Amino acid sequence: MTNLTTRKRLILVIISVILLSIGWLGLSGITLLFALVPLMIISEHYSDSRRDFMRMMGWAAMTFLLWSIMTIWWVAIAHWSGPVTAGIVGTFWNLVAFMTYHYVSKRAPRALAYTLLATLWIATEYFYYSADVMTFPWLLLGHGFSNDIWAVQWYEYTGVFGGTLWAIASNISIFEAMRSNTKVAKVRATIISIAPILISIAIYFMYNPSEERAMLSVVQPNVACYEDKKISKEDIAELVAELPDDTSCAILPESALCYVEEVPTPMDEKHIDGYANAMKGLFGGRDDISMIVGQSTVRLYGDNKATSTARKSEVGYIDYFNTAIHVDHNGAVKDIYHKAKLVIGVEAMPEFVSSFVDLGGVSGQLGWGKEHDVFSVDSMKIGPAICYEALYSDYFAGFVRKGANVMAVISNDGWWGDTPGHKRLFDFCRLRAIETRRSIARSANTGISGFISPRGDVVGDLLEWDERGTLTESVELRDDITMYVRYGDWIARISIFAAVLSLLYYVAYRVRRRNHLVD
């Protein structure tokens, strides 16, 4: 049947795009619970013909591309290749899930089509999320609830894919209630949409905070990324000197040392202890504090191309890393951690592309870190996630599995200007706090610096865009392990298995129907 006019279909697409995008524009993501319903209505009014399949794919592609444009356009400020690649790849995976649903819904029981929509959507999100280079999990449906921490406290059990499952299940139940117009379907849709919120509110108020605490500080130096500007170690020392006496560790942002004129960039990893005198001046005479700070480091391989990311230089093959460094008050490096999740189109891209833009020593195809490291500072075991790594729930949880009782996120948000980018990165950290039940101290070069409680609440004040200063808070230290930390992305793994079984069932169903064994 094709009784929807082109104008009505276009209106439905626009409605779907708006409902999908709202959660990434600083507003509530609750609209995700019915954001796909307009697209499902369009699908319902097409036949099972090949021509109608292509028409439906056009409308779906338009929806998902416009959703990407509305929510990740700002990535182009760093480099045009980022949003183009992310938009195309993300749209492809969304189309795989939705068009499979459309195809099966015309040829098999509706329950099977619904099952495939839910399981394939989660499975394709997981494939995109877990890829090495072509990965950008910004638009996981579960991330759309980052402004609704009151509604998703159960992420400590399910992780972000629990949010995706909730969104898809709600869309299916609401669409089915509209289609069948039965009381049972309406009650089911109400329960699926509302029950998780009620459960979340109960978890929120039943939360028991830890009595073990520590004082932690974050520093935001406010350096503009695109200006050819350096700061002196005295600029950093001035901020560190302002910190209260009872703080034991200062968190400085990603790549902060790249902008300090007295500190060489990049640092040779094998001789990093030789930079102690240069870094000691950052402490402003403080002998009672440690520092976690970002820097670009380099590893030399000589004539051996030891990794796929190693590049040729005058001194042989080398790898550049985006690194977090733990420094004591004497300037001695105690621990280092190399970033493992690299930003598509900036840190993970071919070298010829990186020649178009200079990103302060941390651009191009960087080397990948291989394992999680935890920095020990007094009673704190700090997991040092770097910027974009806060998008990856299971990877972030890996620091907690290694023993972290508090998390630090160091970031350089200035590449994207005063856009939604740095705001959503901070919001996603609130979801990571819930999943792991760990306090998070976030330090940005400029963007948003502040503290997040294990419930996902913002603690105290924030340093926002174009602000310089420091913040200090008493943070909870927790050693308990959530179900999500223990089992990781179990919903995604089950969904992949269920999607494969459902596809096999569909093939068997079609064979039996062709042989007139089923109606």
pLDDT in tens, 67-76: 999 999 988 8
Q: Which position has the higher pLDDT, 347 or 481?
A: 481
Within-domain flag for 300 = yes
Within-domain flag for 331 = yes
Is residue 280 domain-shared with residue 385, that is, in the same domain?
A: yes
Is residue 232 domain-shared with residue 342, that is, in the same domain?
A: yes
The mean pLDDT value of the chain amounts to 89
Is residue 176 domain-shared with residue 324, that is, in the same domain?
A: no
Within-domain flag for 78 = yes
Is residue 367 domain-shared with residue 353, that is, in the same domain?
A: yes
% of the chain with per-residue pLDDT over 90: 65
Is residue 475 domain-shared with residue 497, that is, in the same domain?
A: no
Within-domain flag for 295 = yes
Within-domain flag for 519 = no
pLDDT of residue 302: 81
**Which residues lie below 8 Å from residue 225, measured CB to CB, with a gap of 6+?**
359, 360, 412, 414, 415, 445
Amino acid at residue number 64: F
Cα distances (angstroms) measured from residue 270 to each of 83, 273, 277, 335, 460: 36, 8, 16, 13, 40
The CATH number of the domain holding residue 361 is 3.60.110.10
How many whole angstroms separate alpha carbon 309 and alpha carbon 349?
Answer: 10
Residue 356: which of 366, 367, 345 has the closest Cα? 345
Is residue 334 domain-shared with residue 364, that is, in the same domain?
A: yes
Q: How many domains does the chain have?
A: 2
Is residue 447 domain-shared with residue 504, that is, in the same domain?
A: no
Q: Which position has the higher pLDDT, 462 or 322?
A: 462
Is residue 123 domain-shared with residue 250, that is, in the same domain?
A: no
pLDDT of residue 476: 96
* 105, pLDDT greater than 80: yes
Q: How confident is the model at residue 455 (pLDDT cuts 50, 70, 90)?
A: very high
Within-domain flag for 1 = no
Q: Identify which of 23-37, 278-292, 317-331 has the greatest average pLDDT.
A: 23-37
Q: How confident is the model at residue 159 (pLDDT cuts 50, 70, 90)?
A: very high
Is residue 105 domain-shared with residue 251, that is, in the same domain?
A: no
Is residue 314 domain-shared with residue 456, that is, in the same domain?
A: yes
Within-domain flag for 236 = yes
Domain that holds residue 423: 213-487
pLDDT of residue 42: 97
Interval 223-277: pLDDT, tens:
876 555 667 778 888 999 889 999 999 999 988 887 666 666 777 777 777 777 7
Within-domain flag for 83 = yes
Q: How confident is the model at residue 332 (pLDDT cuts 50, 70, 90)?
A: confident
Query: Exposure pattern of 123-140 as b/e (b: 16+ CB <10 Å)?
Result: bbbbebbeeeeebbbbbb
Is residue 221 domain-shared with residue 85, that is, in the same domain?
A: no
Is residue 58 domain-shared with residue 196, that is, in the same domain?
A: yes
Q: How confident is the model at residue 278 (pLDDT cuts 50, 70, 90)?
A: confident
Q: What tokens appear for 93 in the block?
A: 């995976």
* 85, pLDDT greater than 90: no
Query: Exposure pattern of 352-385 as b/e (b: 16+ CB <10 Å)?
Result: ebbeebebbbbbbbbbbbeebbbbebeebbbbbb
Taking the CA atoms of 347, 353, 355 and 359 in sequence, report the sign of the dihedral they define.
negative
